[in-house]
Structure 1
Amino acid sequence: MTQRNALIVRGGWDGHEPVETTDSVIPFLEEHGFRVRVSEGTRVYTDFDYLDTVDLIVQINTMNSIERGEFAGLRRAVLNGTGLAGWHGGIADSYRDNADYLHMIGGQFAHHAGIAPELRTGEQSDNYLPYTVNITEYGRSHPITAGITDFELHTEQYWVLSDEYNDVLATTTQAVRPWDAWNRPVTAPAIWTRQWGKGRIFVSAPGHKLEIVNDPNVRTIIERGLLWAARGSEAVAA
C-alpha cells in the first residue's frame, strides 16, 4: 500500500468537539495507508512545501478566522490536487469573513431550526430536531453514498446557503412551524462534493458532535468521503 499524507486542522468552537471527532477518524486513515499529522490551528497552511506533500486535509475548525496568507496556502493546495474534507461547522462554518473560502467550499451554514420557544432552556439541545437525510438520485450511484438509503437523525439540521456547482449527494428539508419566519419548506444540501481546480472537496453537514459522527450512516459517509477526496483516489467501494 502506497503511503499518503493526511493533515488534520482543528480548532474553533469546543461545542463541536473538534478534538474528539477528528481523533476518531485517525485510526481509519492510518489503516488506509495515511501518515497523519494534526495541527491545532491554521498556521500550517503557510507551509507551502509541506502542503505540497499532503494528499488530504481534514478540517474541523468552527467559527474561527484565517489570515490571508493561510488561506492562500490552503487554496493553493486544493487547486494543485490536495483533497479537502470535513463535517458540520468545522468546514461549512469556518471562516465567515472570507468570501473566497466560502466560494471554494460551496456551502455556508446559515441557520438551524430550534424547538418551540417555550421549551428552550439555553442548551445546545434547543436546536436538536428529528429530521431525515434524503439521498438524491445522483447520490444513489455515487461511491460515497451508494447503498445508503434515506436515514433519520436527531441533531442540528443545517440550513445551508449553496450554489448549483455542488454535486449534491443528499438533502434535508426544513419544515415550517408556527414560530418560524419562513412560509414554505426549504430543501438544502446535507452531503455534497465539489471539484476545485485539481482538488476534490467533500462536506457532510451532519456531524455536530462525536455521537453524530458515530452514527452508522454518517460514519460510513464520512469515511468514504475522506477516501474519495484524497489525492490519488479513483473510487471508493460501496
Structure 2
Amino acid sequence: MTRTALVVRGGWEGHHPVEATDSFLPFLRENDFDIVIEDDPEVYADAARMAEVDLVVQSVTMSQCSAEAVRGLRDAVAAGTGLAGWHGGVADSFRASADYLQLVGGQFATHPSRHPDLIVGDQTDNYLEHTIEITELGRTHEITLGVEDFTLVTEQYWVLHDDLIDVLATTTHPVQPYHPWHRPVVSPAIWTREWGRGRVFVSTPGHSLDVLRQSDVRTVIERGMLWAAR
C-alpha cells in the first residue's frame, strides 16, 4: 500500500534541512511512500492536501508559521496524519506558536556549552559528550527495541516538556561549576505523543549530518517515521 509523506523543510540553514531530509528520502521510498517536498510550512493550511498526507517529516528550525497553518497541522494530526522530526527541525520550530508547542509536547530551551576556557567561537562550543539513555518504556517500544544506551559528541538538548509525552530515551545535564543549575537535569531525548487519531515522534539527536549517519540515531529516526505514519 502506497502512502504519502510530506517533507517540509526550511528555517535556519545551520541544521542543513535540505541535505538532512534528502538523506531519508530513499528509506521512505523503499517503504512505499510517495514523497512531496515543500519549502514553506504554509502548506499545512491547505486542508484538502493535508487530508491526503499520511506522514509529515518536518525539518524547520525556528522560522515562522501562521496561525492558520499551525491549526491545519494540528487538525491533520488529530485526524490521523503522523508528524515526525529530529532536533531543532521539530523541537525548535515556530517558537511564537503556543499551539504548535502543545502539539509537539517538548520545546528546545538550550544546549549547554563547554568549559569557558575551551570556547573557540563556533558550533563546537556546544558539542558535549553525553549519553542517550533508553528508558524502561523504550526497551520494549518498537522504535527503540534492541537499541542500547549510546554516546554522542554533539549538542545536548535541554527540553521543556509536559507529561503527555511517552519518553523512550533521556539525557542528563550534569552540574558544572561554570553553569548556574545546582542538580543534574534529566531531559527527554526521544519521545512519542498521541494526538487525536495521530502520532508524533521526536528525536532530539540530529544536529548535523554526521550525527544523522550514526547508526543508533538513524535507526531510531527511521523507525520513528514508520511508527508515526498513518
Given the two structures, how large is their TM-score scaled by the length of structure 1?
0.96
Give how far 1:44 is off.
1.1
Give how far 1:124 is off.
0.5
**Aligned residue-pair number:** 230
The equivalent of 2:77 in structure 1 is: 78
The equivalent of 1:38 in structure 2 is: 37
How far apart, CA to CA, are the structure 2 residues paired with 1:160 and 1:69?
A: 26
How far apart, CA to CA, are the structure 2 residues paired with 1:103 and 1:219?
A: 26
Give how far 1:72 is off.
1.4
Amino acid at match of 2:163: E
1:159-204 C-alpha deviation (Å, 9 max, x unpaired): 0001111100000000111100101100010000000111100000
How far apart, CA to CA, are the structure 2 residues paired with 1:65 and 1:39?
A: 15
Give how far 1:46 is off.
1.7
Amino acid at match of 2:9: R
The equivalent of 2:140 in structure 1 is: 141
How far apart, CA to CA, are the structure 1 residues paired with 2:78 and 2:163?
A: 20
The equivalent of 2:189 in structure 1 is: 190
Is residue 130 of structure 1 aligned with residue 129 of structure 2?
A: yes
The equivalent of 2:58 in structure 1 is: 59
How far apart, CA to CA, are the structure 2 residues paired with 1:211 and 1:40?
A: 23
The equivalent of 2:89 in structure 1 is: 90
The equivalent of 1:159 in structure 2 is: 158
CA RMSD of aligned residues (A): 0.6
Q: Which runs of 5+ in 1 are unaligned?
A: 232-238
The equivalent of 1:100 in structure 2 is: 99
Amino acid at match of 2:162: D
How far apart, CA to CA, are the structure 2 residues paired with 1:43 and 1:101?
A: 13
Given the two structures, how large is their TM-score scaled by the length of structure 2?
0.99
Runs of 4+ in 1 over 3 A off after TM superposition: none
The equivalent of 1:234 in structure 2 is: none
Is residue 209 of structure 1 aligned with residue 189 of structure 2?
A: no
Give how far 1:118 is off.
2.1
How far apart, CA to CA, are the structure 2 residues paired with 1:148 and 1:194?
A: 20
The equivalent of 2:229 in structure 1 is: 230
The equivalent of 1:25 in structure 2 is: 24
Amino acid at match of 1:21: A
